[in-house]
Amino acid sequence: MAEVKVPDIGDFDEVPVIEIHVSEGDEVEVEQPLVTLESDKATMDVPSPEAGTVKEVLVSVNDKVSEGTPIVVLEGGEEDSDEGSDAAEEDDEGSDGSGEDEEGSDATEEDEAPRGEDEEPVPSGEDSAEDEEPDSPDTDTESRDRPDTSDNSDARREEEPEGKRVVVLGSGPGGYTAAFRAADLGLEVTLVERHERIGGVCLNVGCIPSKALLHAANVVAEAEDAAEFGLSFPDPEIDLDKLRSWKEDVVSKLTGGLDGLAKKRKVTITRGEAKFTSENELEVDGETIEFDHAIIAAGSRAAMLPDLPEDERIVDSTGALELPDVPDSLLVVGGGIIGLEMASVYEALGSKVTVVEMTDQLIPGCDPDLVKPLAKRVADRYEAIHLDTKVASVEAGDDGIEVSFQGEDAPDPQTFDRILVAVGRRANGDLLEIEAAGVEVNERGEIEVGPDRRTNVSHIYAIGDVTGAPMLAHKATHEGKVAAERIAGHDVVFEPRAIPSVAYTDPEVAWCGLTETEAKEHGTEYETAVFPWQASGRALSLGRPEGMTKLLVDPESRQIIGAGIVGPNAGDLIAEVCLAMEMSADAEDIGLTIHPHPTLSETVAFAAEMAEGTITDLYAPRKG
């Protein structure tokens, strides 16, 4: 007989049992659920590790259990009870870092680390550098030769991989995705991370904490807007300590979940600063790690302006997310996505925000008509927005930071309590000492790769920010899967037809595929179909009619080649158009798809009907 115990469930303790699926005498199969647990984050089943007969159920509904708590006694099965107990002990060793498997892949403690935006020797993990717009995809869908990846069986394999030892450098979204996928494919994976928690910049000091704070900012703004339809609220009382704690709790739940997933997959996590010593070796704080294949997922770091004084009041996005206080006045240098998102947060919390942008519009690279509703809204809320303007000098003083500006309409010098520098990001390829492995890195710190994500060294791959723009977490995760599957011998490449970009501002701005700006620059023929949200019942009922949904259509094939949306939840709405582009859908396909009413998603269908001349919610000339 053998006791079945609660396996690793991440950072959770004293989790209640909400359902018991078996009784004494029941025959169970391998992986059959025995009990269900429910934490504050998720509901999870505890499966049977082997087939057998239930001799005794050791817990009841509402009992609280933790890792290692016995729940069921099993008798019989394919292996005797002693072997089952040994296996359980080995699993425990593999989880807590005290054991080492036979192939020499060290099992480790769940020490995982966020990758910061500083310039330490070897960064790890990807982040979403959201002020980068995606490269325009290949819109010649008829000429694209894409591999058939519909069959997930072994038929997708080209050949057995040479060597199973895979090291992944960086635990951001791209890195942990690559590591987990490689482990699922039977490879022996070591994940190298230099910080304390897994998840990289995105989870720890990027995408996730910024979205948590943006949600808080939107709540404040919505409460203010409600006055227009008769609901007035007093000014909010802001508890910064509680807000910071809530933000950190969101991050901890996600990183803790990844910790558990790594342990279940027996992914070895090695902490420390890493450098390549040869094309098959890494050194991590003096420890040598040999590998057959490597995936570099080392991310990017915040770019800074030259000649800035060293002063704690001058921060990048990581420093701004720490939310040390709410300054009376804040200068945001850079009107891209990251700068505007943080400006939204601080403005909602009470700062007087000034934005300076060196180009002639906010969110450079995005179509001006999409930016216009956002620019109008923030112009009413911010202290000032200066376009076509550069920072000429910065001097730190006791009473603040004095900044002078350069440009045709540049303002007079001003003093600010804090400065946020958000002028883009730089790939970390130049921090890896990767020349020892023979991998080529360009002057921007980027590692060039092919469609299979291979570098110039055939067994070393690179994914995410370190490969250059667009620097987006969701791009990195897909690249990570491609790299892992290629190493496992699968015939796959990274050839997306659309990579969405989203500014989580208020209103949100999202786009994918070809932009009108790019189409005009390249001489690409296109038709534009726009549905204004003034005609959307849902947008009007939300009090947010300023938005619009735009589709770019190929005049001959009628396929969708690009899209842009501005308005609440634009980042969610753009996914439908991305799917349409991947499926080579035309405007008619979207228009004929029944969308729920009244929703903002209808605006995508209405834009498609505008393209086809079949719209009835607006008047448009007939096209057939």
Q: How far apart are CA 220 and CA 228, in angstroms?
A: 14
Q: What is the distance, to the nearest Å, from the Cα of residue 429 to the centroid of all Cα atoms in its chain?
A: 20
Q: Which pairs count as long-range contacts for 389-398, CB under 8 Å and 24+ apart, including other chains?
A: 389/356, 389/357, 389/358, 390/356, 390/358, 391/305, 391/333, 391/356, 394/305, 394/307, 394/308, 394/309, 394/314, 394/419, 395/309, 396/309, 396/311, 396/313, 396/314
Q: How far apart are CA 520 and CA 134, in angstroms?
A: 17
- Phi first, then psi: what are they for 341, rounded to 5°? -65, -45
Residue 409, classified by CB atoms within 10 Å of its CB into exposed (0-12), middle (13-18) or buried (19+), is exposed
- Phi first, then psi: what are they for 183, rounded to 5°? -65, -40
Of 215, 474, 490, 597, the catalytic one is 597
Cα four-point dihedral sign 159, 165, 169, 170: positive
- Phi first, then psi: what are they for 569, rounded to 5°? 65, 25
What is residue 594's DSSP assignment?
Answer: P
In contact, 30 and 74? CB cutoff 8 Å: no
Give catalytic status of residue 21 as yes or no. Answer: no
* Conformational region of residue 579, where left means phi above 0, alpha means psi within -120 to 50, and beta covers everything else: alpha
Query: What is the secondary structure of 390-441 as a DSSP string?
Result: EEEEEEEETTEEEEEEESTTPPPPEEESEEEE---EEESGGGS-GGGGT--B
**Sheet of 314-315, strands arranged across:** 314-315, 418-421, 329-333, 352-356, 384-386
Which residues, listed in sequence order, are joined to residue 36 by a DSSP beta bridge?
Answer: 19, 45
- Phi first, then psi: what are they for 476, rounded to 5°? -60, -40
Q: How far apart are CA 494 and CA 475, in angstroms?
A: 10
CB atoms within 10 A of CB 154: 8
Q: How far apart are CA 208 and CA 480, in angstroms?
A: 19
- Phi first, then psi: what are they for 609, rounded to 5°? -65, -35
Q: How far apart are CA 124 and CA 193, in angstroms?
A: 6
Cα four-point dihedral sign 220, 130, 270, 84: positive
| Active-site residue list | 597
